[in-house]
Amino acid sequence: MIFLPLLAAALLALPRLGTRAVLSIWIAAAALDLALVVVMWAGYDGGIAYETRLRWIPSLGAGFHVGVDGLSLPLIAMTALLFLACAIYSWRETERVRSYAALFLFLQTVSIGLFAALDLLLFFVFFDLSIVGMYFVIVGWGHGDRARSALKFFLYTFLGSLVLLLGFIGLFLAGGTFDMVELIRTPPAASALVLPAIGVGLAVKTPTVPVHTWLPPAHTDAPAAGSAILAGVLLKMGTYGFARIAMPMLPEAWRAYAWMIIVVGVVSVLYGALVALAQENLKRLIAYTSVNHMGYIVLALGAAGLAAGDPRARELAVSGAVTQMVSHGLITGALFLLTGVLWDRARAYDLGRFGGIAAGAPVFTALTAVAAFASLGLPGLSGFIAEFQIFTGVIGAGAVLAGALSIAGILITAALLLRVLHRAFLGPPGELTGRMIEARPSEVAAVAPLLLLSLVIGIMPRWLLDLIEPAAAALVSLVSR
Amino acid sequence: MTGMAENPLDLLPELLILAGAVAGLLVGLFVPRGRQRVVAWICGTALAASMTAGAVAMTGQDVMAFESFAVDLATNATRLAVAGASLLIVVLAAGWARGDSRETEVYVLVLLSALGTIVLAGASDLLVFVAAYLLASIPAYALAGFAKDAHGTEAALKYYLMGAFLGVLMLAGVTLTYGLAGTTAYRSLAGAPPAAAGCAVLLLLAGVLFKVGAVPAHFWVPDVTEGSSPVVAAFVTTVPKIGAFVGLFRLATEVFGGTWRPVVALIAVATMTLGNLAAFYQDNVRRLLAYSTISQAGYLLLPVVVAGRSDLAQPALLFYVAAYAITNAGAFAVVVAVGRDSPAGYTGLSRRSPLLALALVVCLLGLVGTPPTAVFAGKLLVFAAAWDGGYAWLAVIAVINTVASVFYYLRWILPLFRPGGVPAEIRPVASRIAELAAALSVLLGLASGALLALYSPF
């Protein structure tokens, strides 16, 4: 399943494929991959399932070791869906389609591989390759000052990944293996520097304040589908890494640093929301709300390390964090695809130059409104479920002040997203409104399923939470060791 | 070392290269100018045979040949890497030197220098080491000035003067060591008086640092790389490094005391930092590659720093050198294939020749150390070895340097994907070599496990 997209990418190398044929292969591969994930989900019954272990570098205790559990399966499913949405969205893409599709298929392999990896070295390989893939997406198909943004993206995240590698080497030297399952079973007595190294490495990718500066330019100048993947999937690699690697492998250090992590989370929440409020460029605005949303996750995971807190509350926080990862992927993916529609028609993201879009493009407006409400955490949508769990968990675990401050973050995001709707979609027409024509079927077909799933999670989250909660409980018990 | 032997067959890989060089030279003397291609075949066959013999030797026992040449894992790995890299270079050179009145000489000089490099790695006696140093260097000087134009002459002169000066320093080191210890065999040297031994170590280091192109003996690298032809540049920045590093590692484990560690660590830091900083704004891809090889030499010094302190040091070094050699040769092969010196000359290569562009991307990202290329595995081992040996700060500096290096490699990658600008005629043989090297680099990275299992000190 991991390598299916890559095989499809190899298929694209065949000569004489027309543009439509390339896109059809891409969509078919993404759909098939999603179908496989659904089958896996249906057959999943607890613990680590579908485990595969091949030898790779036995002398370093590193191997091709993959498997899924309640932590990774939801993310893999979200990833597969989002990539399918991007494939459908790109149905009208005409510029160098073959390499574009191949790059996305490559990224899909890398992303799913990362979430399934149970070996630190394998995790790192996928982590690094995701940077390379996204760099070429931005350089090749972005707009604006794309070379500069891509370079900044590459340098920052690559620095992060190398610091992460140092942390992994530290874990390896302390534990004698790169195998995650082994390392989780017996947490190594690593030196005090290992968690900071891993933490900084993952924080750059997440990104949290103050290492988020690469994110807004990268998002703004990437193509719509690229931004959707970057925000929806690649950012999760950071938070997932915290939950998968940092917490269970270094429980003592995680508990020791818990308050620091909470503070970073709260600052990210507030700073992201406030800076987003000041943005005129819609895409930058959404990029900063990502900083805000990732802040909630970091906050929740930090609260899970508060040893004094009620374990039930901490489980709730972790479960909320995982739900938020899924939910943010769906919603932000949808939002970025929708801003791509704006760019496609008007070549601009400036809020001030639009207005009254609702009159000419009701479907587009409706989709954007739903996505915005989902993003601000309206009950009935997935963001609410996630954020409710996070806040209840965080406050229950003892970080009352942090929880209260972060709720202010929700207020600010609500205000700014409503302001977006108000300025761009309602009111008198702006100078660029005339160019806005209705969303095309392929665009609707890409965005609607994401929002629909968000709605489904929002109304009946049980099927998802049943999967996440045991994993969250296991994680909390691991971090309490 | 399990035993002493005086069996010439222990040196079969070296003898095969020597035989290839001699046969090539003789045949070249009698064959008309237009048909000297046959010499390339002879030399290539000799290298391939030498690789085979080296691979066979790998399965055998460690021995000490003639009490002065160690045949062990390190030597065997060097034999394979040097012969393999030289083989790539001979094929590259065959396209470049065709029809030249001195075509034969190119191949023969490459072979002789490669032979010196292998002996450098296996030498277990300072006198053998010096002889190997000269054998590896002198053909390279001649190659650098091969084109006989102004740039080439300047390059050769600079290369020669620097090499001669540092070689003399090294000889002084050997003399001093001999005076102190009364012997030049590595195994008898360990107990020399420390103060004077420190001085001798520094003098010995001088020659080796010249060969690997490390600070402060690095000045020849950019000039030779830019001044001589790309094929020669590919050779002198790739092959001698393999043997010189293995030789240095052997010296470090068997001869030097312990006080030199901080010195080599400082040299490593200076080398990688200076190489990277100087590469930043180079507008000539060959100078860029030259400074990149300097910075790579800095990373390669890391395992030398922790030689004897970490079990990972030796596999890290052996693996990294081989990975580096293939990747660097691949990058130079692209330069040979395209024949342009400014990054802007590569504009639009991704459309004109997608495979070649891909090969360049793989090689350059490989030099950065992106998985799953071979250099990534090498870097991983090197960092782990440095950390394991108590030099975590050095690993951190190496990481910072790696990130800095991304910048200039990307400056070269970017134009590939810009529209427009059709590059000049692309040489097919060199392109195949570049693609082969890129593929090998990825394969070696993926197969690193199997290879590391051979180095089994774990």
- Whether B71 shows a pLDDT value over 70: the answer reads yes
- Whether B5 shows a pLDDT value over 60: the answer reads no
- Tell me, yes or no, if A61 comes closer than 8 A to chain B by beta carbon: no
- Whether B456 shows a pLDDT value over 70: the answer reads no
**DSSP string of A31-61, one letter each residue:** HHHHHHHHHHHHH--SSSEEEEEEEEEGGGT
- Tell me, yes or no, if B375 comes closer than 8 A to chain A by beta carbon: no
Q: Is residue B382 part of a domain?
A: yes
Q: What's the CA gap between B310 and B304, in Å, rounded?
A: 10
Q: Is residue B317 part of a domain?
A: yes
Amino acid occupying residue A301: L
Q: What are the phi and psi torsion angles at B64 (to 5°)? A: -115, 110
pLDDT of residue B2: 47
The angle, 0 to 180 degrees and rounded to 10, between the axes of the packed helices B150-181 and B194-212 is 160
pLDDT of residue B9: 80
Listed in sequence order, the residues at least 6 apart from B286 whose beta carbon sits closer than 8 Å to its beta carbon are B225, B226, B230, B233, B335, B341
Q: Would you state the structure tokens that stand for residue B375, as one six-digit string? A: 């250099």
pLDDT-derived band at B457 (thresholds 50, 70, 90) equals very low
- Tell me, yes or no, if A140 comes closer than 8 A to chain B by beta carbon: yes
For residues A388 and A381, is the Cβ–Cβ distance under 8 A?
no
ipTM of the complex: 0.78
C-beta atoms of A166 and B384 within 8 A: no
Q: Most A CBs within 10 Å: which of B280, B349, B370, as the mutation test of the A interface?
A: B370
pLDDT-derived band at B329 (thresholds 50, 70, 90) equals very high
Q: What's the CA gap between B20 and B96, in Å, rounded?
A: 20
pLDDT-derived band at B190 (thresholds 50, 70, 90) equals low
Q: Is residue B54 part of a domain?
A: no
In Å, the largest CA–CA distance within chain B is: 67
- Tell me, yes or no, if B444 comes closer than 8 A to chain A by beta carbon: no
- For residue B72, the SS3 value is coil
pLDDT of residue B458: 35
Q: Is residue B350 part of a domain?
A: yes
pLDDT of residue B193: 61
Q: What's the CA gap between A154 and A160, in Å, rounded?
A: 10
- Tell me, yes or no, if A151 comes closer than 8 A to chain B by beta carbon: yes
* Spatial CA neighbour of B442 closest among B384, B375, B382: B375
C-beta atoms of A60 and B371 within 8 A: no
Instruction: Give me the number of domains chain B comprises.
Output: 1
What's the whole-number average pLDDT of chain B? 86
Q: Is residue B140 part of a domain?
A: no
Q: Counting beta carbons within 10 angstroms of the beta carbon of residue B123, is it exposed (0 to 12), middle (13 to 18) or buried (19 or more)?
A: buried
Amino acid occupying residue A3: F
Q: How far is CA A217 from CA A149, A274, A347, B260, in A?
A: 5, 17, 16, 47
Write the DSSP symbol of residue B9: G
Q: Would you state the structure tokens that stand for residue B321, as one six-digit string? A: 């050198």
Q: Is residue B284 part of a domain?
A: yes
For residue B380, list chain A residues with Cβ-Cβ distance below 8 A. 121, 165, 169
Half-sphere exposure of residue B264: CA atoms within 13 angstroms, side-chain side: 30
Q: Is residue B344 part of a domain?
A: yes
C-beta atoms of A129 and B417 within 8 A: no
Q: Is residue B64 part of a domain?
A: no
Average pLDDT estimate for B236-265: 86
* Spatial CA neighbour of B2 closest among B60, B78, B80, B75: B60
Q: Give the minimum alpha-carbon distance from B65 to chain A in angstroms, rounded to a whole number.
A: 30
List A68's β-bridge partners, or say none.
A49
For residue B388, list chain A residues with Cβ-Cβ distance below 8 A. 173
Listed in sequence order, the residues at least 6 apart from B454 whose beta carbon sits closer than 8 Å to its beta carbon are B58, B73
For residues A123 and A171, is the Cβ–Cβ distance under 8 A?
no
Q: How far is CA B245 from CA A64, B212, B261, B289, B452, in A?
A: 32, 7, 15, 19, 18
pLDDT-derived band at B88 (thresholds 50, 70, 90) equals very high
Q: Is B125 left (phi over 0), alpha (psi -120 to 50) or beta?
A: beta
Q: Would you give the distance in Å from CA B50 to the centre of its chain?
A: 18
* Residues of the domain holding B322: 260-458
Q: Would you give the distance in Å from CA A412 to the centre of its chain?
A: 21
Amino acid occupying residue B142: A
- For residue B185, the SS3 value is strand
Residue with tokens 């950012």: A235
For residue B448, list chain A residues with Cβ-Cβ distance below 8 A. 56-57
Amino acid occupying residue B24: G
Residue with tokens 């035993």: B3
Amino acid occupying residue A402: A
Listed in sequence order, the residues at least 6 apart from A215 whose beta carbon sits closer than 8 Å to its beta carbon are A207, A287, A290, A291
Write the DSSP symbol of residue A380: T
Q: What's the CA gap between B152 and B229, in Å, rounded?
A: 8
pLDDT of residue B1: 44
Q: What's the CA gap between B257 and B317, in Å, rounded?
A: 20
> pLDDT tens-digit profile of A128-156?
899 989 998 998 888 888 888 888 888 88
- Tell me, yes or no, if B69 comes closer than 8 A to chain A by beta carbon: no
Q: What's the CA gap between B382 and A350, in Å, rounded?
A: 49
Amino acid occupying residue A82: L
Listed in sequence order, the residues at least 6 apart from A227 whose beta carbon sits closer than 8 Å to its beta carbon are A219, A283, A287, A336, A339, A340
pLDDT mean for each 10 residues of chain A (481 residues): 76 74 89 91 82 72 82 92 93 81 91 90 90 89 86 88 88 84 83 86 87 88 91 91 90 90 93 90 90 92 85 90 93 92 86 82 90 88 90 88 89 90 83 79 90 92 90 89 78
> pLDDT tens-digit profile of A357-370?
888 888 889 999 99
The sign of the CA dihedral A413, A416, A417, A418 is: positive
Q: Give the minimum alpha-carbon distance from A238 to chain B in angstroms, rounded to a whole number.
A: 18
